[in-house]
C-alpha cells in the first residue's frame, strides 16, 4: 500500500492489518504507552473543507508518533485546481514533507495528488470516498460486535461518500449492509455492483428504514445535508422526512435489542437522529469518534514508516 485513497483499492489483507494495528495501538495508548515510530516526520494536512474530528485525530496521531503535522486551512489552499494545479501542489509539498493528507471536494483531486507526489497521500474525505471514517467504523463495530463476518449494518440515510466507503469496507470484511434512502438519494448502482462483485450479496439498496433495520447489528446514519449541499437543504429535509429515515425509538424497535447506533458526526439532533437515541446506552457514537484517532495513528505508522514511497532522509 503506497497511498490510502479508497477502500476498494486495498486488499482485504491490507485492511485487516490496519484493523489489527489500530486495536494494538489503542491498547498501548490505554496503558499509557507511546509508539514513537515517526520522529522527524512531517505530514501536510490540506483542508478544502473545515473539519473537527479529521483535523484533531490526524494532528494528535502525528504528535503521538513523534512527528509533526502542518495544517493548511481552506483559506490557505482554496479549491485545489482553481488556485493552483493539484499536480504542482503535490510536487511542491513532496519536497517539504513525508506525507500528504487531503480533505477535498473532488475525488479526482486526491487521485492527481497521489499520482504526482512521491510521498504517501491519504484521502481524508472526498465526494466519492471517506475511507478513514469507514475503517474507524469497522474498528468500532469489531469492538462492540466481536467477529465481523456475517454481521449486518443498516445504513439509514443519503447514499453518499460515507455510505459508499462503508459498503466497500463491508465487502472486504464479509459484512452485509442494507442501505435505506429516499428515492433519488440511493447509492449509485455501479458502487453496489462493485461491492457485490467483491463479495456476493454484500449490499442491498432499500427505500424503507424499518425494513433495513431488521436483523441489523448496527444502525448507522449520517447528516441529510452534507457540506456544500446547503442550497438543497429545504428540499432534502422535506424528502427525508417523508419516509422512515430518522433513527428514532420507533425505528430501533424494528432492530434486535443488541443493535448499536453509529453516526459519523456532526449529528443534527431532531433531523437524521433523535437526541433520545443519540444519548441512549445503545449509542456508540463517541467510541466511533475516538476511533478516528486510533485508526489514523495506525494508518500513518503503516504509510509513513513502512512504505516504499515514504522518503528516507
13 labelled catalytic: no
CATH class of 147-282: alpha beta
Secondary structure (H, E, C), 285-304: HHHHHHHHHHHHHHHHHHHH
Query: Is a pLDDT exceeding 60 seen at residue 312?
Result: no
Partners of residue 156 on adjacent β-strands: 180, 221
d(C-alpha 25, C-alpha 30), whole Å: 9
Mean pLDDT of 51-74: 96
Nearest residue to 201 (alpha-carbon basis) of 193, 189, 212, 213: 193
The pLDDT assigned to 230 comes to: 87
Determine whether 34 is an active site residue. Answer: no
**Which residue's entry shows cell 498501548?**
28
Dihedral of the alpha carbons of 176, 209, 219, 157, in degrees to the nearest 10? 90
Based on the residue annotation, tell me whether 133 is a catalytic residue of this protein.
yes
pLDDT tens, position by position, 20-34: 999 999 999 999 988
| Residue 161 counted as an annotated binding residue | yes
Percentage of the chain surpassing pLDDT 70? 98
Q: Is 222 annotated as ligand-binding?
A: yes
Which pLDDT does position 270 carry in this prediction? Answer: 96
How many residues can be counted in the chain?
313
Q: Has 16 been labeled as part of a binding site?
A: no
The model's confidence at residue 308, banded by pLDDT at 50, 70 and 90, is low
pLDDT at residue 305, as a whole number: 84
The whole-number pLDDT of residue 311 equals 60
> So what's the architecture of 7-128+290-306 in CATH?
3-Layer(aba) Sandwich (3.40)
pLDDT above 80 (res 307): no
Catalytic hit among 53, 222, 263, 294: 222
Query: What residues contact residue 11 under an 8 Å CB cut-off, 6+ apart?
Result: 172
Question: What cell does 225 get?
Answer: 445535508
Q: Is 113 annotated in some ligand binding site?
A: no
pLDDT score at 33: 87
- Whether 7-128+290-306 and 147-282 share one fold: the answer is yes
Question: What's the CA gap between 102 and 121, in Å, rounded?
Answer: 8
Q: How far apart are CA 300 and CA 43, in angstroms?
A: 9
Structural domain boundaries in the chain:
7-128+290-306, 147-282
Average pLDDT over residues 202-211: 98
Look at residue 154 and tell me whether its pLDDT is greater than 60: yes
Residue 103 bears catalytic tag: yes
List 53, 55, 164, 292, catalytic entry: 292
Q: Is 120 a residue whose pLDDT tops 80? A: yes
Torsions phi, psi of 37, nearest 5? -80, -15
252-270 as b/e: b if 16+ CB within 10 A: bebbeeebbbbbbbebeee
Catalytic residue among 195, 264, 296, 297: 264
Q: Is-catalytic flag, 20?
A: no
Per-residue pLDDT, 80? 86
Catalytic residue of the set 98, 130, 164, 294: 130
Distance (Å, whole) CA 114 – CA 4? 9
Is residue 83 annotated as a catalytic residue, yes or no? no
**Measured between alpha carbons, how far is 1 from 241 in angstroms, rounded to an integer?**
42
Amino acid at each position: 500500500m503506497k497511498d490510502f485513497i479508497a477502500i476498494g483499492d486495498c486488499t482485504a489483507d491490507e485492511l485487516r492489518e490496519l484493523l489489527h494495528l489500530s486495536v494494538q495501538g489503542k491498547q498501548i495508548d490505554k496503558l499509557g504507552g507511546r509508539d514513537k515510530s515517526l520522529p522527524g516526520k512531517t505530514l501536510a494536512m490540506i483542508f478544502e473543507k473545515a473539519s473537527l474530528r479529521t483535523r484533531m485525530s490526524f494532528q494528535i496521531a502525528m504528535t503521538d508518533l513523534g512527528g509533526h503535522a502542518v495544517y493548511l486551512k481552506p483559506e490557505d489552499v482554496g479549491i485545489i485546481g482553481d488556485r493552483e494545479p493539484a499536480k504542482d501542489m503535490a510536487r511542491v509539498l513532496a519536497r517539504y514533507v513525508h506525507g500528504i493528507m487531503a480533505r477535498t471536494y473532488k475525488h479526482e483531486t486526491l487521485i492527481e495528488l497521489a499520482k504526482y507526489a512521491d510521498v504517501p497521500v491519504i484521502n481524508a474525505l472526498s465526494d466519492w470516498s471517506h475511507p478513514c471514517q469507514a475503517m474507524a467504523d469497522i474498528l468500532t463495530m469489531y469492538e462492540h460486535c466481536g467477529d465481523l463476518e456475517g454481521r449486518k449494518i443498516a445504513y439509514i440515510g443519503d447514499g453518499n461518500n460515507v455510505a459508499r466507503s462503508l459498503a466497500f469496507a463491508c465487502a472486504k470484511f464479509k459484512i452485509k449492509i442494507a442501505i435505506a434512502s429516499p428515492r433519488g438519494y440511493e447509492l449509485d448502482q455501479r458502487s453496489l455492483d462493485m461491492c457485490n462483485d467483491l463479495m456476493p450479496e454484500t449490499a442491498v439498496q432499500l427505500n424503507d428504514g424499518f425494513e433495513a433495520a431488521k436483523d441489523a447489528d448496527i444502525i448507522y446514519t449520517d447528516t441529510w445535508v452534507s457540506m456544500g449541499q446547503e442550497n438543497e437543504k429545504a428540499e432534502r429535509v422535506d424528502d427525508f422526512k417523508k419516509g422512515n429515515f430518522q433513527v428514532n425509538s420507533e425505528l430501533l424497535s424494528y432492530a434486535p435489542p443488541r443493535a448499536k447506533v453509529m453516526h459519523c458526526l456532526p449529528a443534527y439532533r431532531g433531523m437524521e437522529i433523535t437526541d433520545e437515541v443519540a444519548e441512549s446506552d445503545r449509542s456508540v457514537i463517541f467510541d466511533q469518534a475516538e476511533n478516528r484517532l486510533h485508526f489514523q495513528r495506525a494508518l500513518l505508522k503503516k504509510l509513513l514508516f513502512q512504505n516504499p514511497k515514504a522518503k528516507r532522509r
